[in-house]
A and B are shown apart, each in its own frame.
Chain A
Amino acid sequence: MSKPVLVVGSGPAGLSAAHALASAGQEVVLVEKEDRLGGAPILSGYAKLVPSGEWAKDAIGGMVKRVEDNPLITTHLNSVVDTFDGEAGAFVAKLKDGTSIDAGATILATGFTHFDSVNKPEWGFGTYEDVVTTTQVEQMISSGQGVRCPSDGRKPDRVAILLCVGSRDRQIGREWCSKICCTVSANLAMEIREELPDTNVYIYYMDIRTFGLYEGQYYWASQEEYKVKYIKARIAEVTSDGKRLIVKGEDTLVKRPIMIPFDMVVHAIGMDPNVDNMTLSAVFGVDLEKYGFLAKASSYASMSGTSREGVFVAGAATGPETIDDSIAQGQSAALSALALSRGAKVEAAE
């Protein structure tokens, strides 16, 4: 029997990698720093997932259960890897509690961190209670509480969703597109209109990037079936007149300044590199790319390589990623790790 594969992180990518390995008869050690498996969709209480429309707790919950029930997978919760030594085929990882793990290969599925909207103070988060994030709206929906203004629990008459909060913004050192926020926002806008048909939802955008098939399912559907309005404007600031929030900006299509009252403003927050990436980089000896995500090796030889042989990566650890693609990358990394732990060498694709 070959040495187990160490999987770090148990979001969609980690769960998928662990399950794929176990399906092939490979022993897996899964290390999770939080007190439960599931990653962002579970920990942040996402509502219905894109594009399946299934509740996160059911869809990701199923993946969790499958991993928990698998005898080939050993799980360490509330645990982080302290030291990581050796080389491909013979790594030794030590956990915080002293446990030592021999591993043939490692998959880092360490995910991302949600952008903290406090870093864009001009958009009112942290100043006004009714300025919330997409994650909070997900929680309002998934908890069954419904979309309500946090200040007084009223149903909002009018909701503004601001796109690119923490994305595509050199001012705060985040030049990347977080890839999923347009689609998630269109999805949430439809959920809001579904729950509160009298509530008007406006989305303020710079570009709409509901790529691929999401175009029809989310962008078109939100406009055509749910009458969500899209306004090309990057908002300058969110203030208040004492009663309602005031969204200020320029409507670039009519070339006029706008100062529109809203009951609720939602920040479509982006995906930051995991706050632990510096530590992960040091512990596992892998490079970060220029924004601080885990750097990928060339994709052409093997999809999931990092700068260190035998250490693979999957999911949003390498940059903004969808849940479906994270799952695919988890399986891809699993195949690379499996091959290595059974003694195969990855041929260069030259």
Chain B
Amino acid sequence: MPIHEVSLIKPENIIEHEELIIDGVDVSGHWSTFIEPRAVTDYNEEMEKEISGLAGGEFIHRCWQCGSCTNACTINAMNSDFNPRYWIYLIRMGMEDELLIDKDIIWQCVSCNKCTSACPRDVNPEGVMKATAHWLELKGHTPKPNSMIFDEGFSEQVFKTGKIEDGLVLRDFLSKSGQSLNQPWLISMVFGLVKKLPLTMLTRLGLATFFRPKTRDWGNARAAIEEYVAEKEVEKHQLLGLDGHQQKDMENG
């Protein structure tokens, strides 16, 4: 539903006491109904700083709220609650409570980048959606999405060996995201490969599964990448004001 059609009264703001007597007068039930004020009483200036510090969010301050992104949006066409223009505003003004109402749909961005082409100010709304989803996750508002689990496993392997082995990427992803290997699509894909691929290629695939090849002389590159990634992680945690405890949880989780 577009913003201007959303009811201004949120259910959680309606306060009603089943039993209430004030000065001897029984005001139980709807006689005691009142609605908490909706006024915004402060701007949280940190929020824009945090999200603009994450990859993709760098140009959020350029937004002038024209709504081109929302109009162009693939997901908005299916779910009008998905409103990048509105979220960008909430982030800029630091209206965290309001943003959190939509925390479970922000990750749905499919990165089609139609907004990126439509945006007259080069805000890169698609990047902002990514940064926001990442921020929500880092702050513990949303669980780590499968796409992030996949990306992490993928990068981990590249960092370690300089190469990727598709089978391992897949197995790693399925196990970390709590999914069974027994997936019909996976089984039919493997059978398809066995049937159609030439023998030499199959042999190579098979060998790679057991003897994981590494890029030659990868050690130095690996050390440099790991150092850089660690540095970036520390920066990110400082930027978001995450304490050591949360950081540990994140690394484990």
Contacts and interface: CB of A to CB of B under 8 A. Distances in A.
A257 B61 contact: no
Interface in B34-93: 37-43, 45, 61-62, 64-65, 86, 89-90, 92-93
A220 B223 CA distance: 42
A184 B140 CA distance: 43
Contacts of A254: 3, 40, 86, 89-90, 93, 95, 98
B22 interface: no
Interface in A227-255: 227, 229-232, 251, 253-255
A322 interface: no
B45 A200 contact: yes
Nearest to B59: A224
B93 A251 contact: yes
B8 interface: yes
A260 B41 contact: yes
Contacts of B39: 256-259
B4 interface: yes
A64 to B, nearest CB: 39
Given A256-B38, A258-B39, A259-B40, A224 B3 contact: no
Contacts of B90: 254
Contacts of B42: 260-261
A335 B95 CA distance: 57
Interface string A169-199: 0000000000000000000000000000000
Nearest to B39: A257
A256 B92 contact: no
Contacts of A224: 61-62, 121
A259 B62 CA distance: 24
Contacts of A232: 65
B61 A227 contact: yes
B87 to A, nearest CB: 11
Nearest to B38: A256
Contacts of A261: 42
A223 interface: yes
Interface centre among A200, A231, A253, A255, by most chain B C-beta atoms within 10 angstroms, is A253
Contacts of B89: 253-254
Contacts of A251: 40, 93
Given A229-B92, A255-B3, A260 B64 contact: no
Nearest to A258: B40
Interface string A199-231: 010100000000000000000100110010111
Contacts of A227: 61
Nearest to B3: A255
Nearest to A208: B64
Nearest to B45: A200
Contacts of A229: 61, 92-93
A285 B204 CA distance: 100
B47 to A, nearest CB: 12
A312 to B, nearest CB: 41
A95 B92 CA distance: 58
A229 B88 CA distance: 12
Interface in A251-283: 251, 253-261
A203 to B, nearest CB: 12
Contact of B62 (A202, A223, A231, A260): A223
A253 B42 CA distance: 16
Interface centre among B8, B42, B43, B98, by most chain A C-beta atoms within 10 angstroms, is B43
Contacts of B38: 256-257
Contacts of A231: 93
A256 B95 CA distance: 11
A255 B4 contact: yes
A255 B89 CA distance: 12
Contacts of B95: 254
Contacts of A158: 43
A74 B38 CA distance: 64
Interface in B159-179: none
Interface centre among B4, B38, B86, by most chain A C-beta atoms within 10 angstroms, is B38
Contacts of B41: 258-260
Given A254-B89, A254-B98, A260 B40 contact: yes
Contacts of B92: 229
Contacts of B61: 223-224, 227, 229
Contacts of B98: 254
Nearest to A219: B64
Contacts of A258: 39-41
A294 B121 CA distance: 40
Contacts of B3: 254-255
10 contacts: A220-B121, A229-B92, A230-B64, A254-B86, A255-B3, A255-B8, A257-B38, A257-B40, A259-B40, A260-B43
